[in-house]
Amino acid sequence: MRVIGYCNNLVDSCQEQSAFPSSVGSFSDQYNHQINSIVQDEVAPIGASPNFRSLMDLLEKDSA
């Protein structure tokens, strides 16, 4: 699940490295819970071989 890995890496990197602009760190902190919710609620049920078109449709419907 590459999407999960990218999201987790972004969050971890922003928390560990001060070289990132503060706006990136703020984004990471603000959306960490939302990212995890999307991953758990929308990505996980799709399974190990996700249909990325379906995933994008789900994400586009999320008004947040």
* pTM, 2 dp: 0.25
Mean pLDDT of 11-40: 65
**Is the Cβ–Cβ distance between 36 and 3 less than 8 Å?**
no
Interatomic CA distance for residues 18 and 2, integer angstroms: 25
CA distances for 51 relative to 43, 48, 58, angstroms: 10, 10, 11
Interatomic CA distance for residues 17 and 25, integer angstroms: 9
Give pLDDT, residue 16. 60
**Is the Cβ–Cβ distance between 33 and 57 less than 8 Å?**
no
Domain count, the chain: 1
For residue 30, what are its two tokens? 């603000």
Give pLDDT, residue 31. 73
Structural domain boundaries, residue 7: 2-61
